[in-house]
Amino acid sequence: MRELREHELVIVGGGAAGLTAGIYAVRYGLDLVLLSIGAPGGQTATASTIENFPGFPDGITGAELIMRLTQQAEKFGVVFENAEVKEIRPDGERWRLVCGNVDYLCMATILAVGASPRRLKIPGERDLFGRGVSYCATCDGFFYRGQTVAVIGGGNTAVEEALYLADIAEKVYLIHRRDELRAEQIIADRAFENEKIEFIWNTVATEILGDDSVTGLKLHNRKTEEDFQIDVDGVFVAIGYEPNTGFLGDLLELEDGFIVTDERMCTSQPGIFACGDVRNTPLRQVSTAVGDAAIAADSAYRYVSERR
Ligand code: NAP
């Protein structure tokens, strides 16, 4: 027999957006639960240093920021439960969130489920995951002291991971498919000045090599059409993120997989709101996620108040 739990609001996701939505919504007096898979954290928790979140002139680690947000949410009475939402379906005038052994019935839900690292989808990536292939330098960089690693990607994440790894590893290759970084200039300049970082331009990885653990990378230069190989002990993939919207089916309007919202964070379904990296926002930052989340909580509060 499935257990049924009823709340006015269910927040799905324990990253910066979900935690902020929780802080705002609980202070509005909503009866709510915040669902997350494992401990709160999301992408923010994996960031080595966040330098552009207002109010922290010396930067703050992602883990520290998440810890503070969690403490703040707990202080105001947000209840956390571990659950993975498998499906959302209408149930009369309410929404039913189908999880493992429990269903949650709610008037409103805020989806703050974020995005997951994009995969390269090349041979060796899946087999060597956790044995030299990683999507998080802050989590796994420690293992590569004095070794050689490669970071793949050209955005802020890739360059920041390369800089972080350069403090630990002996050498860092940064492999980018074009000859120009997507990363912000201030971050890129730091990497250009770092002697441990060697850029390999116009190049894509075609295979990650190794039996028990990573030993090398097969590469292809897209300009010269040259195929070549480098020896590395670790490969950090940082080629962007894909939204965690697979569980929604065709319930909501999506754009490239991201949830479409209006400026009140309303989705295409009444009572379902979205915020943070999972929505079709022009900028995926902690600062924009927490702003979205405050609006989503306010919209959910108004929606619930009208139906109480
Ligand atoms: P991103 O900005 O989308 O960059 C992804 C990078 O990976 C791009 O350089 C892209 O190449 C490359 N790429 C994509 N698919 C690839 C593939 N299949 N093979 C090889 N390369 C591939 O992702 P991100 O760096 O993770 O950043 C995500 C968001 O978070 C951005 O808005 C970013 O500004 C933000 N962020 C901000 C900070 C900060 O402000 N400190 C730190 C981290 C992230 P192309 O350039 O050729 O498209």
We report the CATH number of the domain holding residue 133 as 3.50.50.60
Q: Are residues 16 and 87 in the same domain?
A: yes
| CB-CB contact of 194 with 165 (8 Å) | no
Amino acid at residue number 5: R
Q: Which residues line ligand 1 (CB under 6 A)?
A: 52, 120, 152-158, 160, 177-178, 182, 204, 238-241, 283-285
Q: Are residues 190 and 170 in the same domain?
A: yes
pLDDT in tens, 159-192: 999 999 999 999 999 999 999 999 999 999 999 9
Catalytic residue among 91, 139, 179, 227: 139
Amino acid at residue number 273: F
Give the chain's domain count: 2
* pLDDT at 283 exceeding the cut of 90: no
Domain with 141 in it: 119-237
Q: Are residues 127 and 101 in the same domain?
A: no
Using pLDDT thresholds of 50, 70 and 90, give the confidence band for residue 48: confident
Using pLDDT thresholds of 50, 70 and 90, give the confidence band for residue 139: confident
* pLDDT at 220 exceeding the cut of 90: yes
Among residues 211, 237, 263, which one ends one of the domains?
Answer: 237
Give the CA distances from residue 72 to residues 16, 37, 63, 65, in Å, rounded to whole numbers and listed in that order.
12, 19, 14, 11
What's the pTM value of the predicted model, to 2 decimals? 0.84
Ligand 1 probe mutation, 182, 199, 200, 207, most atoms within 8 A of CB: 182
Q: Are residues 96 and 33 in the same domain?
A: yes
Q: Are residues 163 and 251 in the same domain?
A: no
Using pLDDT thresholds of 50, 70 and 90, give the confidence band for residue 51: confident
Q: Are residues 154 and 233 in the same domain?
A: yes
Q: Are residues 230 and 148 in the same domain?
A: yes
Query: What does the pLDDT average to over 144-165?
Result: 97
The question of whether 139 is a catalytic residue gets the answer yes
The question of whether 106 is a catalytic residue gets the answer no
* pLDDT at 1 exceeding the cut of 80: no
Q: Are residues 164 and 245 in the same domain?
A: no
* pLDDT at 43 exceeding the cut of 80: yes
Among residues 237, 267, 284, which one ends one of the domains?
Answer: 237
pLDDT in tens, 287-301: 999 999 999 999 999
The question of whether 136 is a catalytic residue gets the answer yes
pLDDT recorded at residue 64: 96
What residue's CA is closest to ligand 1, atom 37? 156
Using pLDDT thresholds of 50, 70 and 90, give the confidence band for residue 71: very high
Least Cα distance to 246 among 45, 84, 39, 36 occurs for: 84
Catalytic residue among 99, 103, 106, 140: 140
* pLDDT at 231 exceeding the cut of 90: yes
pLDDT recorded at residue 19: 98
Strands 197-200 and 258-259: unpaired
Query: What does the pLDDT average to over 254-277?
Result: 98
Give the CA distances from residue 76 to residues 22, 27, 29, 96, in Å, rounded to whole numbers and listed in that order.
9, 7, 10, 26
Among residues 202, 218, 237, which one ends one of the domains?
Answer: 237
Q: Are residues 245 and 263 in the same domain?
A: yes
Using pLDDT thresholds of 50, 70 and 90, give the confidence band for residue 138: confident
Distance CA 20, CA 157 (A): 23
